[in-house]
Amino acid sequence: MESISVGLLGLGTVGTGVVKVIENHQDKLMHQIGCPVQIKKALVKDLHKLRDVDIDTTILTLEADDVLLDPEIDVVVEVMGSIEETKEHLVKAIRNKKHVVTANKDLMAVHGPELLHLASENECDLFYEASVAGGIPILRGLADGLASDRITKMMGIVNGTTNFILTKMTKEGRSFDDVLAEAQAHGFAEADPSADVGGLDAARKMAILSTLGYSMNIDLDDVKLKGITEVTENDIRYAEQLGYVMKLIGYAHREGNCVEVSVEPTLLEESHPLASVNDEYNAVYVYGEAVGETMFYGPGAGSLPTATAVVSDLVGVMKNMRLGVNGRSAVSPQFNKQLKKNDEIFSKYFLRLHVEDEVGVLSSITSVFSRNGASFEKVLQHPLPEEKKAEIVLVTHHTSLASFEKIQMELRDIDGVQFVKSTYRVEGGAS
């Protein structure tokens, strides 16, 4: 094999990073696979746009088929984003016996199993390491490094935008809106940040992680979702008083063959490994029956970190080409999907209430918890500026989600309770 030809779909932030890594690490790639790697064609939207990379403009094209149908191109690297149009491109590439590397989490969360099956049928590789947590090799860690173990729990900070926002809110006492504006100014948040702050971006990544880690097809709709838009400075301040740190956590837990998958603002014990992951960094904490606790940590986005993951997948494809084993790495799901019901999901919970500051209110609240088999681990009470009003903050012991939801409904019927201000899951500490 004299050389390996690559076609690029997209030449934006990640695409230019891929070009740089391939050019600057050509000696490493030669050592790994025994031949040079060349980018033969790159699909772009604008042939004349100034780019942060020195690239031969004759390889640029506005036509996807120049990449997808070129018989000399061995591997298609997709870094253009979007879902349906991109899926059509990748289907065409695979049917034309081209291997695919993608960084597209949205696509893989929605159509991943279908595309992997098609790739296997056509004896093609489809690798997607860069779709989750940027430069962190979490998917390869699950598929290869922990292949012999049985994963029981995965918890992760898998969205850098929300972690940046919550870090700033915690350390500087600022509001969500204020920090979001700064994040947008620094390029950490999109002009439309809804997918990030609403938790959708993290949910897509958790669907991919859960599908791979638990060997069952977890759909995006299976992920219970709550974003950070309602998190306030007071929530974070009370969390700190109780010894917790607020993070947007992707959580996946398997017991037997039943799983739960969620993305939600979560209070972590200050000693938890994820509590010290700050700013735009990502981390995924994995628990296996044999290996115990492991954590993958690093930059979750950015041109070169994400490009490094893309090119690492490219190396994997090229090694398979030399061995003649392309399309054999995909493993069909081992288990049928079984999702936990709410009465099978257990956690501790944070609850913040505004109440009338009068005799008997706390007793009534305690009775509601007691009737539903729940008890308090921690309690704070503070007077509010309004006359005879108070704020009560509770952390429960472990209780079921079904019980906690019933408790919230019953609390709204107590005369002395004005409203439930906020609720969050709590991880870590005593049961």
The confidence score (pLDDT) of residue 1 equals: 62
Asked whether residue 359 carries a pLDDT value surpassing 80, the answer given is yes
Please report, rounded to a whole number, the percentage of residues in the chain having pLDDT higher than 70: 98
The confidence score (pLDDT) of residue 130 equals: 87
Asked whether residue 429 carries a pLDDT value surpassing 80, the answer given is no
Distances (CA, A) of 89 to 17, 59, 99: 21, 18, 12
Which residues, at least 6 apart from 173, have a Cβ–Cβ distance to it below 8 Å?
233, 237
Residue that wins the pLDDT comparison between 133 and 86: 86
Q: Are residues 165 and 151 in the same domain?
A: yes
Q: Are residues 257 and 120 in the same domain?
A: no
Residue 51 resides in a domain: yes
Rounded distance between C-alpha atoms, residue 410 and residue 373, angstroms: 13
Tell me the catalytic residues: 205
CB 353 within 8 A of CB 382: no
pLDDT per residue as tens digits for the range 99-151: 999 999 999 999 998 999 999 999 999 999 888 887 788 988 888 888 888 99
Residue 330 resides in a domain: no
pLDDT per residue as tens digits for the range 203-217: 999 999 999 999 999
The confidence score (pLDDT) of residue 173 equals: 93
Q: State how many domains the chain has.
A: 3
- 15: tokens are 């695409």
Assign 306 a pLDDT band (cuts: 50, 70, 90).
confident
Question: CB neighbours (10 Å) of residue 325?
Answer: 12
- 375: tokens are 């008890």
- Domain holding 40, by residue range, is 4-134+303-323
Strands 292-299 and 258-269: unpaired
pLDDT per residue as tens digits for the range 221-233: 999 999 999 999 9
Task: Collect contacts of 221-226 with beta carbons under 8 A, ≥24 apart.
Answer: 222/261, 222/337, 222/339, 223/261, 223/262, 223/263, 224/260, 224/261, 224/262, 224/263, 224/264, 225/198, 225/199, 225/200, 225/262, 225/263, 225/264, 226/199, 226/262, 226/263, 226/264, 226/265
CATH of the domain at 281: 3.30.360.10
Residue 328 resides in a domain: no
Assign 234 a pLDDT band (cuts: 50, 70, 90).
very high
Assign 431 a pLDDT band (cuts: 50, 70, 90).
very low
Rounded distance between C-alpha atoms, residue 130 and residue 108, angstroms: 11
Question: CB neighbours (10 Å) of residue 339?
Answer: 15
Summarize the confidence of residues 156-173 as an average pLDDT: 94
CATH of the domain at 65: 3.40.50.720
The confidence score (pLDDT) of residue 2 equals: 78
Q: Are residues 254 and 282 in the same domain?
A: yes
Assign 430 a pLDDT band (cuts: 50, 70, 90).
very low
Using DSSP, how many helices (H) and how many strands (E) does the chain show?
Answer: 14, 17
